[in-house]
Amino acid sequence: MLRPLPPSCALLRDLSAGLLHPFTTQVTPFSTFPNLLTRRSTLSIYNIPARLVPLLNKLRATLDSAFLSTGRGFSKLGLTPTSWTFVGLLFALLSALAFGNRGSLWQPLAGLLVLASGFFDIVDGAVARATGRMTKRGAFLDSTLDRLGEVAIYLGIMVGGYSSPEWVLVAITFSLLVSYTRARGEALGIKLSGVGIGERSERLLILAVLSIVGLASYGVLVVAVVAILTFLQRTGTAWMNLSKEVSGRALS
């Protein structure tokens, strides 16, 4: 029998203490966060995920070529990239409905539907690249509907009672913040794509696999932790790059 998850507030407190100070239980005041970000070599929440990022980026680059071939195949069906975007959203909404039900079969089915949603989210971009139909309008719609589908999935998990509302709130909040930091950073000229171990595809994969084996509650927990780490890493990367720009202007 699975042990119940610890209370969210207590676990978040212990997690933050352990990540920021692996050898002590003292919690660093938030006011010192900007200074910690400049000490990249001593910030464990930054260095641990950072060691995994090159491996993930190599895997992502390898998969990109495979996805391009997939895009060429799906482009022969005659559907536009936008059509595949809506197909991905449809599967996300179906997974939310499946999560909203209790039963031995609903949770694995919901996990499979999450996988399908993530797959078609890849297909739309692959078709756009394969056919040369990449547009700003399509990118905006794709990103917006991705967020909508992600929120729907977590609402389904909460309605179905597979995880506590507190953990669902943490997972979806930091998942959205991961996307926001990338969008805001790139608007300021800082490339954050590929920074961190918890981009949307990884988060959906974690949630889907654990849901398929009947562990959606732990899937939400793992997604929350991974999203928090990625958010902190992207914030740190953006902060350091912006600080360099400020220092460069001051010297000039």
pLDDT digit string, tens, across residues 55-64: 555 555 666 6
Q: What is the CATH number of the domain that holds 160?
A: 1.20.120.1760
Residue 206 amino acid letter: I
- Is pLDDT of 48 > 50? no
Q: Give 219 or 193, the one with higher predicted confidence.
A: 219
- Per the CB < 8 A criterion, the answer to whether 118 and 212 are in contact is no
- Per the CB < 8 A criterion, the answer to whether 127 and 149 are in contact is no
Mean pLDDT score, 168-194: 92
Q: Which long-range contacts does 235-239 make (Cβ < 8 Å, 24+ apart)?
A: 235/37, 235/181, 236/37, 236/40, 236/43, 236/46, 237/185, 237/190, 237/192, 237/195, 238/181, 238/184, 238/185, 238/188, 238/190, 238/192, 239/34, 239/37
Instruction: Supply the pLDDT for residue 69.
Output: 75
Strand, coil or helix: what is 200? Answer: helix
On whether residue 2 sits in a domain, the answer given is no
Quick one: pLDDT band at residue 12, thresholds 50, 70, 90?
Answer: very low
Which pTM value belongs to this model? Answer: 0.73
On whether residue 207 sits in a domain, the answer given is yes
Most confident of 6-15, 142-151, 195-204: 142-151
Helices (H) and strands (E) in the chain, counts: 9, 0
* C-alpha dihedral, 76 to 137 to 135 to 145, nearest 10°: -50
On whether residue 60 sits in a domain, the answer given is yes
Catalytic-residue membership of 64: no
On whether residue 236 sits in a domain, the answer given is yes
On whether residue 251 sits in a domain, the answer given is no
The residue range of the domain holding 204 is 8-243
Q: What is the mean pLDDT of the chain?
A: 80
Mean pLDDT score, 31-46: 42
CA dist 145 and 152 (Å) reads: 10
Quick one: pLDDT band at residue 18, thresholds 50, 70, 90?
Answer: very low
On whether residue 166 sits in a domain, the answer given is yes
Mean pLDDT score, 10-36: 43
On whether residue 1 sits in a domain, the answer given is no
Pick the catalytic residue from 121, 124, 142, 146. Answer: 146
Neighbours of 26 (CB within 10 A): 9
- Per the CB < 8 A criterion, the answer to whether 187 and 31 are in contact is no
- Is pLDDT of 116 > 90? yes
Q: For the segment 220-231, what is each residue's pLDDT rounded down to a tens digit?
A: 999 999 999 999
Strand, coil or helix: what is 9? Answer: helix
CA dist 234 and 195 (Å) reads: 6
- Is pLDDT of 114 > 90? yes
On whether residue 252 sits in a domain, the answer given is no
User: Domain count of the chain?
Assistant: 1
